[in-house]
Structure 1
Amino acid sequence: MKKHLLKYILFALTPIAVASCTNFDDSYYENPNKPSKASGTQLIANAQFFLPNLSSSAYGVHYPQYLSLTTYTDNTRFIAQNFDFETWYVGPLMNLEDVLSKQDALDANEGPVANQVAVAKILKAFFMWNVTDRWGDVPYTEAFQGTALPNPKYDKQEDIYKALFTLLDEANAAIVLTNGTIKNDIIYKGDMSKWKKLGNSIHMLMALRLSKVNPTLGKAEFEKAMQAGDMTANADNLSYPHLAQAAHQNFWYNSFTVLKRNWYALSEALVNLMLPQEDPRLAVYGDKNAAGGYAGLAFGKAVPNPDVDIPKVSLLGAGIRNQDSPVPLVTYAQLQFAKAEAAKLGWIAGGDAQAKTYYETGIKESIKQWTGSDASAAGYLAKPAIVYSPAKALEQIATQRYIHVFPYGYEGWAEWRRTGYPVLTLASEINGGKMPRRDGYPLSEAANNKANYEAAVSALPYGGEDNLNSRVWWDKP
């Protein structure tokens, strides 16, 4: 079997088979290595292990210029153009597809099967959303048929979005709230009310991506999901809980503390947004430098003398890189900013008055999430540049969202691509002075899935080549 086929073949974490023997009654003897029921919740838990990788990445943090590198700056000069998506197919999507394809064999003793399936659909939508937002058109409808279809076609991103909206609708409708707890849930400990809110919240954020390319569909999907019930407090946040143990520790702890690499500093772009406004989140995002202040590092340029120059800049904050520091992915404050934009766009009722309320609530809840208190929010909201302005509202909302979702680089990058805010520039020697717009397809696809790969490249929605400078469907010029 060719190696590249593995990314589309599903392996079950726990094999699904009924043990039988001609000499024993099946009710008496069951082979423990071939259980009659599949552990859907263990498959779901295995998929959840991949969640922090969406944010904690040696690449993602650089696309929106959240972090600069003090040394080995290839990633901040965007040298790599093509990236492999195999990890997502053979990892979380593989496990979740197994849950969905073997529903009749799931063990109801682990919680209502309907809820196991609903959670699998929510997570599948979340992971697949991240994949298509990075690469654009990718395999989807033919991606999970194994050796029966080893060279799957690439689905249009527009069609993938519509399929994921349907998947989230199905999950929302199927969730059983009464006596509905499921086992082995790392994120919400089986609380289905929180999963229901998460699914609808993801649905809203996805819908907002369509603001330029299909606002009619985006508005309809946003309204529907909002009415179904989204996050209502920071306690609802999707945040991956790392542990104070080597097997489940934070990525940044491993980089800074275990490997002792002071490589990641706050970028000038981020510090220049936050420092003039005395943003209280800055003290969490970065450490003070040797002079007792905050200083960003120029993006894409290594420090000339590490021993002398690294102490002059603010490294990634110690509180974010503890061994058990959680990784926030979808948050209540983020939904408030989404609603603020939706109100400003006229997608939901209230106009500027409602947009202002959501905007201010988003800032308060963001500060509370990151600092533990919203006591400093009033002073920050009173800053002239922060006070809600109808004329600059979309820029203000986008900028606050950009600051808030730090250090979730792929999400910050997606929202920057969609809105253009905040304004980010590159030196001419970095990628020709162009900020990246998508990831190039895996090099293995050009060799092993040649016809479908070439069809996908030729169908890039706004033309271009398979590199960082072409655009995905919703990133309308």
Structure 2
Amino acid sequence: MKKAYILFLISGFLLGSCSDFDEDINKNPNLPNQASGTQLIANAQLSLPGLASSPKGSSMAQYLAETQYVGLTLYPQESTSFYGYYQGPLENLQTVLDAEDLNAADGPIDNQLAVAKILKAYYYWNLTDRWGDIPYSEALQGADNFTPAYDTQESIYNDLFAELKEANSMMVSGSITNDIVYGGDMDKWKKLANTIRLFMALRLSEVDPAMAKTEFSAALSAGVFTSNDDNLVFEHLADANNQNYWYSQVVERNREWWALSENLVEEMKPVNDPRLAVYGDPARETGEYTGLKFGEEDNIGTEEFALLGSKIFAQDAPVYLVTYAQVLFAKAEAAHRGWIEEDAETNYNMAVEASIEQWTGSSDGAGDFLANPKIAFDAGNALEQISNQRWVHLYMFGYEAWSEWRRTGYPNDLVEPNGNEIPTRLSYPDNEAFNNEANYEAAVGRQFNGDDSIYGKVWWDE
């Protein structure tokens, strides 16, 4: 017993001293004990490709058909979690915005805050367009509020417009460090903020045309993208620590699970679209581009259909998020609607050219492509033509293309697999019904008459 008592005393002493001992021995004098503001911003940027690189997103826009394990392309009624965005990039960005001790050695503090605001707005815009009303004004408070209320999508849009304008106005001269997308170039961040505003404004074309026109014109005047050099692109590396999502799926896991959809191939192949050779690889059996019917469950395989392109799933393939071609398509549509005094055809032609240059590395084939009677601008069919070419351009950012389909109705020939209509939103995470019951039920009741269905419509989807 005496021996046991002595051991108990020794262990008690060690445990009591452990915290001080660990604190001293685990400190590295050569490393900061907490992340800097720009390091947190960089960490938030690492989540950007996840906004686009998604089989579910691709299924919403019907770019890719499943060659086996057909599931997503049948549009099952299922929940989709947004927790990762709140617990990851949004939390990082809010930490920057709440910080009282940002280091000016990483660049002007106002610029750090401005970039954090822009990225935060961009993430929230993506979230609200997918789910509808979401936690916003009461979110990201940690232990102070585990059950945030859901803000209406309309109020979120209004606040995001204001946040982007404020971010734009607060920028000063000087760059920031650790910026992995724009290298600290604040002129490009300013253009990005205005370009996001432009796209958000266009999204309101059916629900509030007057506001859409006003915000669109203001964003355009403030200065948007002027070339592909301005594009928000996430550049992956030929390295396992920062590689393309699709590489991990197709190459590392040996999954030839995705073929180009029949709709996509039939939109591109008959007009000799030069982007098709980038988007997919020809069928091994025939050497031809043959699309697989979206949602097909029986006549599927990997030899007779064009599969996801090797340039798309390359380890270091880039992810295009916000692009100059989108700006030009938006301007073409705005001109067609009479919002701006520019020529719709000119902007349409420039948009197609910029898209071809973005995807193929050269605009050499744009002239012949635009000369095709099926592609040449037709003022009497402008909205459909602009929308269809924008859909082709947005390949692999399915969620964004899906939002544009919901707004415009184009392309108007997408299929309903097994009679299932294309969803019009994502359902909230299952856990919300338990973890945040009152606010979840209020949001579902307010928007969708109590039914958290994938066929409810978000605010701007008239």
TM-score (norm 2): 0.91
Aligned equivalent of 2:67: 70
Aligned-pair CA distance for 1:302:
3.6
Aligned equivalent of 1:43: 40
Q: The residue matched to 2:259 in structure 1 has which SS?
A: strand
Q: The residue matched to 2:431 in structure 1 has which SS?
A: helix
Q: What code does the residue aligned with 2:187 have?
A: S
Following the alignment from structure 1 to structure 2, what is the Cα–Cα distance between the partners of residues 38 and 324? 27
Following the alignment from structure 1 to structure 2, what is the Cα–Cα distance between the partners of residues 183 and 81? 41
Residues 121-162 of structure 1: per-residue CA shift (max 9 Å, x gap):
110011000000000000000012222222111000000001
Following the alignment from structure 1 to structure 2, what is the Cα–Cα distance between the partners of residues 256 and 343? 41
Higher mean C-alpha displacement, 202-211 vs 138-147: 138-147
Residues 43-73 of structure 1: per-residue CA shift (max 9 Å, x gap):
0000000000011112111001010110111
Aligned equivalent of 2:121: 125
Q: Is 1:82 aligned with 2:68?
A: no
Aligned equivalent of 1:295: 290
Q: Which runs of 5+ in 2 are unaligned?
A: 1-26
Q: The residue matched to 1:239 in structure 2 has which SS?
A: strand
Q: What code does the residue aligned with 1:409 have?
A: G
Total equivalences in the alignment: 435
Percent identity, aligned pairs only, is 51
Following the alignment from structure 2 to structure 1, what is the Cα–Cα distance between the partners of residues 96 and 338? 39
Aligned equivalent of 1:12: none
Contact kept in structure 1, 2:44 and 2:89, CA below 8 Å: yes
Following the alignment from structure 1 to structure 2, what is the Cα–Cα distance between the partners of residues 69 and 93? 32
Aligned equivalent of 2:311: 319
Following the alignment from structure 2 to structure 1, what is the Cα–Cα distance between the partners of residues 233 and 139? 28
Contact kept in structure 1, 2:74 and 2:417, CA below 8 Å: no
Which segments of structure 1 move beyond 2 Å, counting only runs of 4 or more?
29-35, 302-305, 424-429
Aligned equivalent of 2:424: 437
Contact kept in structure 1, 2:281 and 2:308, CA below 8 Å: yes
Aligned-pair CA distance for 1:34:
7.0
Q: Is 1:342 aligned with 2:351?
A: no
Residues 187-222 of structure 1: per-residue CA shift (max 9 Å, x gap):
011111111111111110011000000111111111
Q: 1:294 to 1:155 in 2, by over 3 A?
A: same
* 1:145 alignment partner, one of 141, 151, 161: 141
Q: The residue matched to 2:320 in structure 1 has which SS?
A: strand
Following the alignment from structure 1 to structure 2, what is the Cα–Cα distance between the partners of residues 243 and 409? 22
Following the alignment from structure 2 to structure 1, what is the Cα–Cα distance between the partners of residues 311 and 89? 28
Following the alignment from structure 1 to structure 2, what is the Cα–Cα distance between the partners of residues 105 and 428? 54
Aligned equivalent of 1:4: none
Q: What code does the residue aligned with 1:163 have?
A: D
Aligned-pair CA distance for 1:428:
5.8
Aligned equivalent of 1:403: 392
Q: Is 1:372 aligned with 2:369?
A: no
Match runs of 1:134-173 below 5 Å = 134-173=130-169
Contact kept in structure 1, 2:311 and 2:317, CA below 8 Å: yes
Q: What code does the residue aligned with 1:250 have?
A: N
Contact kept in structure 2, 1:38 and 1:107, CA below 8 Å: no
Following the alignment from structure 1 to structure 2, what is the Cα–Cα distance between the partners of residues 292 and 194? 42
Residues 354-399 of structure 1: per-residue CA shift (max 9 Å, x gap):
1111100000010011111111111110111211111100111111
Following the alignment from structure 2 to structure 1, what is the Cα–Cα distance between the partners of residues 281 and 32? 52
Aligned-pair CA distance for 1:31:
7.6
Q: Is 1:193 aligned with 2:187?
A: yes
* 1:419 alignment partner, one of 408, 422, 430: 408
Aligned equivalent of 2:322: 330
Following the alignment from structure 1 to structure 2, what is the Cα–Cα distance between the partners of residues 235 and 31? 40
* 2:203 alignment partner, one of 204, 209, 223: 209
Q: What code does the residue aligned with 2:93 have?
A: L
Q: What code does the residue aligned with 2:105 have?
A: N
Residues 51-108 of structure 1: per-residue CA shift (max 9 Å, x gap):
0001111211100101011011111112242111101100110000111111x31000
Higher mean C-alpha displacement, 411-420 vs 270-279: 270-279
Q: What code does the residue aligned with 1:86 have?
A: Y
Aligned equivalent of 1:466: 452
Higher mean C-alpha displacement, 145-154 vs 319-328: 145-154
Following the alignment from structure 2 to structure 1, what is the Cα–Cα distance between the partners of residues 283 and 299? 17
Aligned-pair CA distance for 1:265:
0.8
Q: Is 1:110 aligned with 2:96?
A: no
Q: 1:91 to 1:380 in 2, by over 3 A?
A: same
Aligned-pair CA distance for 1:448:
1.5
Aligned-pair CA distance for 1:113:
0.6
* 1:279 alignment partner, one of 257, 273, 278: 273
Following the alignment from structure 1 to structure 2, what is the Cα–Cα distance between the partners of residues 442 and 250? 26
Q: What code does the residue aligned with 1:192 have?
A: M
Contact kept in structure 1, 2:295 and 2:417, CA below 8 Å: no
Following the alignment from structure 2 to structure 1, what is the Cα–Cα distance between the partners of residues 84 and 145? 19
Contact kept in structure 2, 1:71 and 1:303, CA below 8 Å: no
Following the alignment from structure 1 to structure 2, what is the Cα–Cα distance between the partners of residues 232 and 427? 38
TM-score (norm 1): 0.88
Q: What code does the residue aligned with 2:393 have?
A: H
Aligned equivalent of 1:357: 346
Aligned-pair CA distance for 1:454:
0.8
Contact kept in structure 2, 1:303 and 1:310, CA below 8 Å: no
Aligned equivalent of 1:263: 257
Q: 1:217 to 1:67 in 2, by over 3 A?
A: same
* 1:383 alignment partner, one of 364, 372, 377: 372
Q: Which runs of 5+ in 1 are unaligned?
A: 1-28
Contact kept in structure 1, 2:78 and 2:427, CA below 8 Å: yes
Q: Is 1:55 aligned with 2:56?
A: no
Q: What code does the residue aligned with 2:61 have?
A: P
Aligned-pair CA distance for 1:33:
7.5
Following the alignment from structure 2 to structure 1, what is the Cα–Cα distance between the partners of residues 32 and 380? 64
Aligned-residue CA RMSD in angstroms? 1.7
Following the alignment from structure 2 to structure 1, what is the Cα–Cα distance between the partners of residues 128 and 62? 21
Q: What code does the residue aligned with 1:98 have?
A: T
Residues 256-310 of structure 1: per-residue CA shift (max 9 Å, x gap):
11111000111011111111111111111010112111011111124556xxx31
Q: Is 1:451 aligned with 2:438?
A: yes
Aligned-pair CA distance for 1:433:
2.8
Q: The residue matched to 1:211 in structure 2 has which SS?
A: coil
